[in-house]
Amino acid sequence: MFSRLQDLMQWRASLLMSGKFRELAEEYLYPLPVYLGGRQQVLRNKAEMETALRRLSVIAKSSGITRIDATVRALELPRAGRFRVWISHRDFGPEGQLRGGGQFVHYCRLTDLGIKTEMSDYPDCRADWISTEPQRALA
């Protein structure tokens, strides 16, 4: 299962970088809670996810990122068809230079259509790629 998840996460990264947002949006279950730097937002459907993925792609490309390598770091044993996957990513520029990276956790579920993500946590994410609305600072 570890190898299968590794291939799945790398495939998803390639979908993002190749602009296949509709196909990538199919990989999630909705409504989808997403935590960005500890702040929860909810994507209600595939259309909202496609819009968010487009924003994420623009942010990545404007940062000079042309390739993302995803690596599964840990996998929780599934219980009742649910499990967590800890993933790190390294972001590369057009000349292959390392541009950055980070970590995230996908909360996954085994379905008849394969492994789907039902919640995501990006604890160190500073870019709000989900919402275009102004955000209030938390006191």
Q: Which residue ranges make up each domain of the chain?
A: 2-122
Residue 48's CB is within 10 A of a number of other CB atoms, namely 18
Q: How far apart are CA 28 and CA 119, in angstroms?
A: 8
pLDDT interval class at 105 (50, 70, 90): very high
Amino acid at 51: T
- 2-122 has which fold? Nuclear Transport Factor 2; Chain: A, (3.10.450)
Residue 133 has pLDDT above 70, yes or no: no
Residue 139 has pLDDT above 90, yes or no: no
Three-state secondary-structure class, residue 131: coil
First to last CA, the chain: 43
pLDDT at 136: 47
For residue 49, give Cα distances in angstroms to 15, 21, 26, 64, 119: 13, 8, 9, 23, 12
pLDDT at 132: 53
Query: What pTM did the predictor assign?
Result: 0.88
